[in-house]
Structure 1
Amino acid sequence: MKEPRAVDADLLKRFPLPRHPDDAGKEDRGRLLVVAGSRELPGAALLAGTAGLRAGCGKLQIATAASIAVQLGIAVPEARVIPHRETEEGCIDESEIAPLLKWAKGAQAMLLGCGLQQGAPLEKLLDALLASGIDIPLVLDAAVLSKLAHRAEPLKAWQGGAVILPHAGEMASLLGREREEVEAEPLAAARNASERLGVTAVIKGEYSFIVSPDGEAFRYRGGGVGLATSGSGDVLAGIVGGLCARGADPLTAALWGVHLHGEAGRKLSASVGRVGFLARELVDLVPRIMGGGA
């Protein structure tokens, strides 16, 4: 089995991002649908959505809990905010599944999971989505990750391709293993998840590993311990989603997303401090680091 290739500038030249001419409109850069946030975790939707815009998507739609929709619309005036009803536990109400799928049909990529509350309606949404035949890239994170193991076949059949972004604990839950096992062999865990689910699997850590559905593996030397902070994963998910909306395939979006997120962390470690910088501070560094790749 081949050793993973390093994610660096030379590698990324082989995985170029879509380029957009100066006369391109926002429609040409794609629409990202972010289904995220809840009463307890409204910031997850804000971070993921803003990161998608900073990654260059042309339009942002955020489907979120009605209780936080107005506030989120003010905080992210660039977004169209789509409120949905909630259960008493704060989960997406089952009656909202059909409308959410209609919004997904009009998007070029969809991010699902950041800041959502788990529950039966979320699982029904995931099942309905995977059975819908919609052909766009999916970025799956946080609340939905532990629900994927029993949905391997429909996920493998998803035509648009998918990216999963677990940390070691989430990967352990997905694979039915102990966290210590995953931490001891993160690359093996990423390979296992990618093969089982037919997705591009990212496992985050000091070294982040990315494995494509065909078994190709990559390694990124992390951006520092400061990235282990609340909201950091939401930013990464949003970057990957934004790149997919622009037209990058899931593997290219994952490689660039991990690189952009990590390099932003590296820069903040130097300018702010090794620890203590905020996830929201990562977002504004993304366009400059992306540079010529945009």
Structure 2
Amino acid sequence: MTAETPIDEALLRANPLPRHSQGDDKNARGTVLVAGGCREVPGAILLAGLAALRAGAGRLQMGIGSSLGPSLGLAMPESRVVGLPETEEGMIHPSAAPSLARFAARADAMVLGPGMPASPEASQLTEALLDALPAGSEGPALVLDAATLGDLRQQREALRRHAGRIVITPHDGEMARLLDTERQAVLADPLSAAREAASLLHLVVVMKGGCTHVVTPDGAAWSCDRGDVGLATSGSGDVLAGLVGALLARGATPLQAALWGVYAHAEAGRKLARLQGPIGFLARELPPEFPAILASLAAPQP
């Protein structure tokens, strides 16, 4: 198996993001749909949505349980918010999958999972949505996060319909549940766990951690250890999911979106650590750093 390639500025400049010209309207930069949340964690999709807009997506839409929709709309006036049938916990009900799929079919990328509690209903919603979404280029690229990941081993047939268009963003606990193994086994060798998941599910894996690994189904791997300890904070993963979703919506491939997203997320943490100290900055403070970081990487070199 080949060694990992470091994710650095030279790598990203050799794999540039799609460029957007003066005069392009918001549709040219793509539409992101973020769906998830529950009554206990309604702000997770707000963080993901904020990250998506700060990473350059042209339009943002959000799907959440109906009781939470008005509050989310007021908190995020830049977004269209759709309230959907919900469970007792305020999570999107699995029966909403067809409606959510029709909504998602008009988006370029969809981020599913931030703020959703791990539950049978979350797995049912994920599987039903994968079945209902248009396949291939007719449907949105996908970022699957949090509670959507637990039962993906049992959803491989549904995943195949969207081959080449999915990024997953697990931390060690989520990866352990996905692979039906112990968390300590993932912590002992996160790269091997990421390779196993990428090969099994035929998608791009972003294995989050102190050193984050990006792996493709053929086992090729990249790593980023630039992240500061302060990134290990509530909501940081939601921000990363929204950032990757925005880059997909802008036209990046899943691998490009993962590489650029991981680096920009880590670099935002480094900037905040320098300004505020290594721990104590908030996940909501990461997205405002993205425009300058992405612009600097896209700028021509002298």
State TM-score, norm by structure 2: 0.94
Tell me, yes or no, if structure 1 residue 265 matches structure 2 residue 280: no
Assess if the C-alpha contact under 8 Å between 1:155 and 1:197 holds in 2. Answer: yes
Tell me, yes or no, if structure 1 residue 274 matches structure 2 residue 284: no
Give 1:160 shift. 5.2
1:194-273 mapped onto 2 (5 Å cutoff): 194-273=198-277
Cα distance per residue 1:137-173 (max 9 Å; x no partner): 1100001111211112321331451001011111111
Alpha-carbon distance between aligned partners in 1 of 2:180 and 2:68, rounded to the nearest angstrom: 34
Give 1:13 shift. 1.6
RMSD value over aligned CA atoms? Answer: 1.4
Cα distance per residue 1:210-259 (max 9 Å; x no partner): 00123210010131110000000000000000111111111100001100
Residue type matched to 2:189 in 1?
E
Alpha-carbon distance between aligned partners in 1 of 2:158 and 2:94, rounded to the nearest angstrom: 20
Alpha-carbon distance between aligned partners in 2 of 1:119 and 1:180, rounded to the nearest angstrom: 22
Tell me, yes or no, if structure 1 residue 104 matches structure 2 residue 104: yes
Residue type matched to 2:266 in 1?
G
Residue type matched to 1:66 in 2?
S
Assess if the C-alpha contact under 8 Å between 2:64 and 2:91 holds in 1. Answer: no
Residue of structure 2 in register with 1:154 after alignment: 158
Residue type matched to 2:75 in 1?
A
Residue of structure 1 in register with 2:61 after alignment: 61
Cα distance per residue 1:114-152 (max 9 Å; x no partner): 001344443333222222333321100001111211112
Residues 17, 241 of structure 1: alpha-carbon distance in 2 compared, 3 angstrom cutoff: same
State TM-score, norm by structure 1: 0.96
Residue of structure 2 in register with 1:32 after alignment: 32
Tell me, yes or no, if structure 1 residue 45 matches structure 2 residue 45: yes
Residue type matched to 2:106 in 1?
G
Alpha-carbon distance between aligned partners in 1 of 2:128 and 2:38, rounded to the nearest angstrom: 20
Question: For 2:222, what is the secondary structure of its paired residue?
Answer: strand
Alpha-carbon distance between aligned partners in 2 of 1:174 and 1:251, rounded to the nearest angstrom: 21
Residue type matched to 1:205 in 2?
G
Assess if the C-alpha contact under 8 Å between 1:30 and 1:57 holds in 2. Answer: yes
Question: For 1:131, what is the secondary structure of its paired residue?
Answer: helix
Question: For 1:88, what is the secondary structure of its paired residue?
Answer: coil
1:63-212 mapped onto 2 (5 Å cutoff): 63-132=63-132, 133-134=134-135, 135-159=139-163, 161-212=165-216
Assess if the C-alpha contact under 8 Å between 1:17 and 1:293 holds in 2. Answer: no
Q: Which runs of 5+ in 2 are unaligned?
A: none
Alpha-carbon distance between aligned partners in 2 of 1:213 and 1:55, rounded to the nearest angstrom: 26
Alpha-carbon distance between aligned partners in 2 of 1:128 and 1:106, rounded to the nearest angstrom: 18
Q: Which runs of 5+ in 1 are unaligned?
A: none
Assess if the C-alpha contact under 8 Å between 1:138 and 1:160 holds in 2. Answer: no
Alpha-carbon distance between aligned partners in 1 of 2:221 and 2:115, rounded to the nearest angstrom: 28
Assess if the C-alpha contact under 8 Å between 1:110 and 1:136 holds in 2. Answer: yes
Assess if the C-alpha contact under 8 Å between 1:90 and 1:117 holds in 2. Answer: no
Residue type matched to 2:33 in 1?
L
Question: Comparing 64-73 with 156-165, which one deviates more in the overlay?
Answer: 156-165
Assess if the C-alpha contact under 8 Å between 1:167 and 1:204 holds in 2. Answer: yes
Alpha-carbon distance between aligned partners in 2 of 1:118 and 1:177, rounded to the nearest angstrom: 17
Percent of aligned positions with the same letter in both sequences? 50
Assess if the C-alpha contact under 8 Å between 2:163 and 2:203 holds in 1. Answer: no
Cα distance per residue 1:183-221 (max 9 Å; x no partner): 110110110010000010011111100001232100101
Question: Comparing 65-74 with 232-241, which one deviates more in the overlay?
Answer: 65-74
Residue type matched to 1:214 in 2?
D
Residue of structure 2 in register with 1:286 after alignment: 290
Residues 40, 269 of structure 1: alpha-carbon distance in 2 compared, 3 angstrom cutoff: same
Residue of structure 2 in register with 1:21 after alignment: 21
Residue of structure 2 in register with 1:12 after alignment: 12
Alpha-carbon distance between aligned partners in 1 of 2:148 and 2:107, rounded to the nearest angstrom: 20
Alpha-carbon distance between aligned partners in 2 of 1:260 and 1:158, rounded to the nearest angstrom: 26
